[in-house]
Structure 1
Amino acid sequence: MTTQPTLTLAGPTGFYARFGKAVFDRVVGLVLAVMSLPVLMLLMIGIGLTLRKNPLVREPQVGLDGKPFLLLRLRTAAPERDHGYGRMLRRLSLDELPQLWNVVFGSMSLVGPRPLDADHVANLEAWMLRRHLVRPGITGLWQVDARGDGRDLVDNIHYDIQYIDQISLSTDLRILLKTLLVVFTRRERQPEDAARPPRRRLTSRFPHIRQVIVDQIIWSLALPLAALAHADFAGSDVNRMGLLVAIITAVGVQVFWGYGVGLYRGRWQLASNEAVGWLIVGTTLVSIALVAETLLPGDGPLKVGAIVSAAGFQLVSAIGVRYLANAVYAAQGRSNHTRPHRLLVFGAGAAGLKAAEAVWDDPASDSLPVAFLDADVAKHGTRPLGLSVVGGAESIGSAAYRYNADLLLIAMPSATGTAVRDIADIGHRAGLSVRILPRLSEYVLDDTDVVMADIREMTLADFLPREELSLDLESIAGYLTGKRVLVTGAGGSIGSVLCKIIERFDPKKLYKLDVDENALHGLQLALEGRALLDSDELLLCDIRDQPALLAAFEEAKPEVVFHAAARKHVTFLESHPGEAVKTNVLGTLNVLAAALAVGAERVVNVSTDKAADPINVLGLTKRMGEMLTAYYAGQGSTSFLSVRFGNVLGSNGSVIPTFREQILNREPITVTDPEVTRYFMTIEEACQLVVQAGALGNGGDVFVLEMGQPVRIVELAERLHQQLAPGRALDIVFTGLRPGEKLHEVLAGPDEELVDRPHDLLYRYAVPSLDPAVAQKLPANGSREFITTQLVETLADPPF
């Protein structure tokens, strides 16, 4: 970990931890010790016969408040022999049976940290001594969560500290139950168990038959016992026929009511408040029916007092069985495989609880939830799912150290991006890797359970210094429904997401045009789940090939065109400006002319913020694309417009993949300048903008998205490093601005005229037109300096 917060040696709090636990240990321990005494005597006799040594061993250990005591256990080996009988005792943990008497004598607890000898205690750090603020236990949290996986003492002490923070009766019962399951099953649940088909049983046809049977058995026992008790246990005074009638009545009413309201049809969870409530109502109805029988002529089957006693016994027993069964099912359902990571969950609301259960239950999960945190002070100190809510954001560092956690899951789907970023920053500073349950825009809880697939690592989109934008596409994208739509550059990062969005609106045809056959192969696989490349909607074509492009348009006859094909890498295009002219200028001209020729209704040209006040080849050529789009807007009934946005996170050619590779390879992160800034948006935002603008635009204008404040590239690199390599030193090398790069980008040039804001998130700027004849005269071959000079001069004084 990067820091070691100061930890106080505070003991456990709460009534149970301070008072109830001792009573529980003495009472239960005494009962178990007496009941197991015959077994213990037989085991001791077996040890004497096999090892010929004193069967009982007394080991000096350190207990509560550092005081010594003698730990009792059975001998399982002798210096000269290791008998199979002793190995069997160790395997079944029967050698620890005498420790029940340690519990009775008050030196140990049923559940707690395992005792250590004085030599080990002498080497403990100060914070580790907190484990001695409670009595050592026969079993503990680390034994049931990490049994036999080779964890060292320090790791186990983190489990002990976690247990001390979470002491409660339910926690102790759960640990005892899991101890029995671990000892007697002797195997971990395997991933294939979930896929194994169940055996054909009665429960496969009537999955809740156990509830029915148990409830009726309880009534069948409660009524005779109550009748006997009220007859002073004189069986001759009990109306046996009347008792039989009462049992039949109780069973009939209970079953009829239970199935009628859904209690026996799985309408509610086994021990939910709703199920318990309806169980109380059902018991009350049975009692009323039995009391009504006493009003019949003759001797009533049971006295009213006996009926009330039986009803109380039945209700308490039925609820108790349900809670016990719920605990058993939960313990069996939670995968017990070894997990290399320990997880803090920030968010103790419904989403956080469901996320923690998903992590627990998934047999492929690599992490174990150990504690909750929450911004709501009222939840601090509570124990949802048996895990303590140990504080808010300010407690992340200390909780990470105390519980030896290395992961933080932020489970607040309704929180703002700012709140999530603040919590993630604290987690990163504590050396934690951060995962997130997506926001409600991506994932809606309703009554759906969270699954592991819903939990993901944080992406850089989560770190944008603004809320992620979500435009109302459903209300404006009707212009795509039932239309023939064509996307150029469909296999690229922007084009492929654009195709996915367009498909949601049921176009008549969606033509995907690209020069890269591998990109089209991957796109068809992503969209259709197959990649046979046999669809007439896949168009392999180069937009620089004017005859071929026109033929493709004439065959497809698109009504809506999205032009996303482009050369866009600044540094490459500075070295090869002719390629930018061929694609970004002449290729765009070909697309515009073809769309007009086939009578398309709308054409949306995808541009870039580099076109605003351009100083590099990419910006110059993309600005010319905008101007050509404006020219064609006046040539017919087709609606032409352009869309301009900033750098797209994770798109092909962006800095993010480069940073990621450098971090994962432990290489220095290369940044051009410590002050360089850029506007960023997600691919989804960019494509939503394109679709939105297509509904609003005409006249060749350019639409610009409201993108908030620009982001410093250094901060972007720092955040990515924190996420991918928490706790590792950051190494950034500044390389200087490259030719054609700006220190700060702008979204609109100083001379551009703002027309209006057709949407709260969109600006519309007027664009001057450029005659295609001028564009066609631009040199695409020649020296770099010559081509660049011609581009600059054409834009400086364009003939319109």
Structure 2
Amino acid sequence: MVSRVRRIIALMLVDAVLINLAMYLALILRFDGFSKIPAAHLASSYQLLPLFTGVLVLTFYFTGLYNRLWRYASIGELLAVTSTVSLGSVIAIAAAYFFSAGTLQFSRGVFVLQWLLNVFLIGGSRLGWRLLRDYGLKPGPTKGGKPILIVGAGDAGAMVAKELKNHYNGQINLVGFIDDDPSKKKLQILGSLVLGGREEIPDIVKQHGVQEIVLAMPSAEGKMIREVVEICHKTDAGVKTIPGMYDLLEGNVTINQIREVQVEDLLGRAPVKVDLDSISHYLKGEVVLLTGAGGSIGSELCRQVAGFSPKKLLLLDVSENNVYDIEMELSNSFPQLDIYPIVKDVRDEQAVEQVFKLHNPKVVFHAAAHKHVPLMEVNPEEAIKNNVMGTYNVASAADKFGANKFVFVSTDKAVNPTSIMGASKRVAEMVIQHLDTVSSTNFVAVRFGNVLGSRGSVVPLFKKQIAEGGPVTVTHEEMVRYFMTIPEAVQLVIQAGAMAKGGEIFVLDMGEPVKIMDLAESLIRLSGFEPQEDIEIVVTGIRPGEKLYEELLTDEEGVNATNHKRIFVARPHDINGKLIEERVNNLRKGITPRNKYETEGFLQTFLPEFRNDESKMTG
């Protein structure tokens, strides 16, 4: 606090001197020399100087000019100086004419010159301090510094270069920039040239002995980043990147954010933008229930929902360890939030109803599910109990106790399903669509594909296999999947909840599908190895229930656009409510499938085409 006061006082003294200097320089310029200044004008200046100095310094103070960090002075700060000097000058001139009552003799031209000189001197002092700090007080770049090449000659590339020079100017040698825009070639950015396009990276690295390449392409598509990384890996230089646009806040890049390239960067897409006002409106001040709260999707839902100030957050999961972990995390991050941990099984109808009776949640996110395709092929009846009956229990309680919104987290595997897991999720979608027709609660489902980093997903598996020295296992050379990061998927789920009117199945734009073989090769290279040389890739064959490619819509559904360019809504088609009620009542009575044959029969009553050409096997 003391140092801040001293800084402000010092700035005020400097400005007072500059304001006085501007007055006398204005007189000298107006009358072509100090000796030619009329005595009356000189006498008037002695009377006006205290007034101008006091008014301008006070104006600077009250408009916050002394609260700026002038070491980062730029055009914005110079505009602030210009507007503040203008305001202060107008006030001072008005006060001079009012109090002098016409007794002062002073040329109007002097006032104009004084204004210009004040802007020049006061603005120049700030900019001069920055120039002194950036260039006069630091050692210049050394040829012996670490040679660095930046890929991307846009705003992000310029910010990276600026950060590197500010923090490591004596330790790095910025060789230049790479950009595919031919119009930028040979142009300079902060004193460094744009040397060429991506295809020239190997030659430039070799020519300049580049040791590190920094990717500054935060909004580039994953395909482009993959191509650039492939080229960079043909060199001996290390490769790093800045965060994607989703992670950047207001375009700021810091040295700490420059990191190793990760697989998420290779799957990048346009940044997600959400309507924060609509999200806040339906979550703020409400009791929110999240089932499957400790899972990959559920825990991220908890983190993001907690940021919208709900009245109470109910964390329901069958695993006490999962509930404990997410409760501890949220308690530290949101100490003021009312968090209630619940260890319950969604298959227990009475326990679920008790939760609703006790807490009366108004918004429900249902993420509890069995999701692993191969495991559900071996334990098919459990998919019905958890994914169908569990969904019905939570959804019917939401209806019974008057919840406003119910958002069901579904999957692209529910479309034309070939797996028990996918079929069970499709039936669960039908259940909530039916309930929407008979309830005042808005029931909606949200479908998306694979989520990077979720438990049991392919990327953690590949990383584990690489760490063990291989081999990396891929089920088929042509297998493709859609991918999203966990925060991105959850953000769109919450946004879909804000858009829900009832009965919709929202479909998230997953971008371009990614070939799993390409993903495996990229991940091996990111780990510093060469595919099939250092780490072997083995094709194991498609597992039961798997598809070569996933779909997001059935032929009957089609798709309609919404006011969010990343979210679409499937057109609803007829749901057999009578059949759903009949089958669900059987489940409630304990009449559940007991093996694979009975499970497939149960699913085929809803989905006649499901495995109708496959031989039935008892389980």
TM-score (norm 1): 0.57
Residues 349-373 of structure 1 deviation map (CA, whole Å, 9 limit, x = unaligned): 444333333344458x998755333
Q: How does 1:566-645 map to 2 (within 5 A)?
A: 566-645=369-448
Contact 1:675 1:712 in 2 (8 A): yes
Distance 1:273-1:686 versus aligned 2 partners, 3 A rule: closer
Aligned mate of 2:569, from 751, 759, 762: 762
What CA distance in whole angstroms lies between the structure 2 residues aligned with 1:749 and 1:694? 19
Alpha-carbon shift at residue 658 of structure 1 (Å)? 1.8
Aligned mate of 1:794, from 602, 606, 611: 602
Aligned mate of 1:357, from 162, 165, 178: 162
Alpha-carbon shift at residue 498 of structure 1 (Å)? 2.1
What CA distance in whole angstroms lies between the structure 2 residues aligned with 1:780 and 1:710? 35
Distance 1:256-1:731 versus aligned 2 partners, 3 A rule: same
Distance 1:559-1:457 versus aligned 2 partners, 3 A rule: same
Distance 1:331-1:755 versus aligned 2 partners, 3 A rule: closer
Alpha-carbon shift at residue 331 of structure 1 (Å)? 5.7
Contact 2:185 2:195 in 1 (8 A): yes
Deviates more, 1:480-489 or 1:685-694: 685-694
Alpha-carbon shift at residue 342 of structure 1 (Å)? 5.0
What CA distance in whole angstroms lies between the structure 1 residues aligned with 2:138 and 2:324? 41
Residues 446-480 of structure 1 deviation map (CA, whole Å, 9 limit, x = unaligned): xxx53335545544444337545545464477443
What CA distance in whole angstroms lies between the structure 1 residues aligned with 2:207 and 2:374? 49
Structure 2 partner of 1:731: 535
What CA distance in whole angstroms lies between the structure 2 residues aligned with 1:374 and 1:214? 48
Name the larger-Rg structure. Answer: 1
SS for the counterpart of 1:605 is strand
Distance 1:200-1:429 versus aligned 2 partners, 3 A rule: same
Structure 1 partner of 2:196: 391
Contact 2:444 2:497 in 1 (8 A): yes
What CA distance in whole angstroms lies between the structure 2 residues aligned with 1:268 and 1:515? 52
What CA distance in whole angstroms lies between the structure 1 residues aligned with 2:350 and 2:67? 66
Residues 556-596 of structure 1 deviation map (CA, whole Å, 9 limit, x = unaligned): 11222221011112223333334434322332232233223
What CA distance in whole angstroms lies between the structure 2 residues aligned with 1:588 and 1:391? 56
What CA distance in whole angstroms lies between the structure 2 residues aligned with 1:529 and 1:407? 38
Contact 2:300 2:486 in 1 (8 A): yes
Alpha-carbon shift at residue 435 of structure 1 (Å)? 0.6
Sequence identity of aligned pairs in percent? 32
Structure 1 position 329 matched with structure 2 position 133: yes
Distance 1:324-1:560 versus aligned 2 partners, 3 A rule: closer
Residues 506-548 of structure 1 deviation map (CA, whole Å, 9 limit, x = unaligned): 4333322112333333323443425999955322222233322
SS for the counterpart of 1:762 is strand
Aligned mate of 1:521, from 289, 299, 324: 324
What CA distance in whole angstroms lies between the structure 1 residues aligned with 2:163 and 2:351? 53
Aligned mate of 1:371, from 160, 176, 190: 176
Aligned mate of 1:409, from 200, 209, 214: 214
Unaligned runs of 5+ in 1: 1-197, 223-229, 232-236, 286-307, 309-313, 782-786
Residues 213-232 of structure 1 deviation map (CA, whole Å, 9 limit, x = unaligned): 9979999xx9xxxxxxx99x
Structure 2 partner of 1:673: 476
Alpha-carbon shift at residue 635 of structure 1 (Å)? 4.3
What CA distance in whole angstroms lies between the structure 2 residues aligned with 1:577 and 1:341? 58
Alpha-carbon shift at residue 637 of structure 1 (Å)? 3.1
What CA distance in whole angstroms lies between the structure 2 residues aligned with 1:584 and 1:608? 12
What CA distance in whole angstroms lies between the structure 2 residues aligned with 1:432 and 1:507? 45
What CA distance in whole angstroms lies between the structure 2 residues aligned with 1:409 and 1:322? 32
SS for the counterpart of 2:407 is strand
Kindly provide the amino acid, as one letter, of the partner of residue 517 in structure 1.
E
Kindly provide the amino acid, as one letter, of the partner of residue 205 in structure 2.
A
Residues 308-338 of structure 1 deviation map (CA, whole Å, 9 limit, x = unaligned): 9xxxxx9999999988754542268879999
Structure 1 position 439 matched with structure 2 position 245: yes
SS for the counterpart of 1:491 is coil
Structure 2 partner of 1:540: 343
Contact 2:153 2:177 in 1 (8 A): yes
What CA distance in whole angstroms lies between the structure 1 residues aligned with 2:308 and 2:77? 43
Contact 2:291 2:315 in 1 (8 A): yes
SS for the counterpart of 1:797 is helix
Contact 1:663 1:725 in 2 (8 A): no
Distance 1:621-1:566 versus aligned 2 partners, 3 A rule: same
Structure 2 partner of 1:128: none
What CA distance in whole angstroms lies between the structure 1 residues aligned with 2:249 and 2:378? 45
SS for the counterpart of 2:477 is coil
What CA distance in whole angstroms lies between the structure 1 residues aligned with 2:497 and 2:119? 65
Distance 1:474-1:268 versus aligned 2 partners, 3 A rule: closer
What CA distance in whole angstroms lies between the structure 2 residues aligned with 1:440 and 1:609? 24
SS for the counterpart of 1:707 is coil
Distance 1:360-1:596 versus aligned 2 partners, 3 A rule: same
Kindly provide the amino acid, as one letter, of the partner of residue 389 in structure 1.
V
Distance 1:327-1:586 versus aligned 2 partners, 3 A rule: same
Kindly provide the amino acid, as one letter, of the partner of residue 241 in structure 2.
R
Q: How does 1:421-570 map to 2 (within 5 A)?
A: 422-430=227-235, 431-439=237-245, 442-445=248-251, 450-464=253-267, 467-472=270-275, 474-475=277-278, 478-529=281-332, 535=338, 537-570=340-373
Alpha-carbon shift at residue 731 of structure 1 (Å)? 3.0
Contact 2:141 2:171 in 1 (8 A): no
What CA distance in whole angstroms lies between the structure 2 residues aligned with 1:688 and 1:318? 46
Contact 2:331 2:339 in 1 (8 A): no
Where does structure 1 differ by over 6 angstroms across 4 or more consecutive aligned residues?
Answer: 213-219, 244-258, 273-279, 314-324, 332-341, 365-368, 531-534
What CA distance in whole angstroms lies between the structure 2 residues aligned with 1:526 and 1:653? 22
Residues 625-654 of structure 1 deviation map (CA, whole Å, 9 limit, x = unaligned): 223334433444333333222111222221
Distance 1:274-1:685 versus aligned 2 partners, 3 A rule: closer
Contact 2:220 2:269 in 1 (8 A): no
Structure 1 partner of 2:107: none
Kindly provide the amino acid, as one letter, of the partner of residue 794 in structure 1.
F
Distance 1:392-1:262 versus aligned 2 partners, 3 A rule: farther
SS for the counterpart of 2:489 is helix
Alpha-carbon shift at residue 712 of structure 1 (Å)? 0.8
Aligned mate of 1:746, from 546, 550, 560: 550
Alpha-carbon shift at residue 697 of structure 1 (Å)? 5.1
What CA distance in whole angstroms lies between the structure 2 residues aligned with 1:530 and 1:506? 12
Name the count of aligned residue pairs.
562
SS for the counterpart of 1:604 is strand
Distance 1:262-1:636 versus aligned 2 partners, 3 A rule: closer
Distance 1:402-1:772 versus aligned 2 partners, 3 A rule: same
Deviates more, 1:407-416 or 1:643-652: 407-416
What CA distance in whole angstroms lies between the structure 2 residues aligned with 1:640 and 1:316? 63
Aligned mate of 1:713, from 509, 516, 539: 516
Kindly provide the amino acid, as one letter, of the partner of residue 438 in structure 1.
G
Distance 1:486-1:421 versus aligned 2 partners, 3 A rule: same
SS for the counterpart of 2:546 is coil
Alpha-carbon shift at residue 616 of structure 1 (Å)? 2.4
What CA distance in whole angstroms lies between the structure 2 residues aligned with 1:475 and 1:531? 22
Distance 1:480-1:216 versus aligned 2 partners, 3 A rule: closer
Kindly provide the amino acid, as one letter, of the partner of residue 773 in structure 1.
N
What CA distance in whole angstroms lies between the structure 1 residues aligned with 2:148 and 2:292? 42
Deviates more, 1:529-538 or 1:500-509: 529-538
Alpha-carbon shift at residue 663 of structure 1 (Å)? 3.4
Distance 1:570-1:799 versus aligned 2 partners, 3 A rule: closer
SS for the counterpart of 2:194 is coil
Distance 1:250-1:713 versus aligned 2 partners, 3 A rule: farther
Kindly provide the amino acid, as one letter, of the partner of residue 372 in structure 2.
H
SS for the counterpart of 1:400 is helix
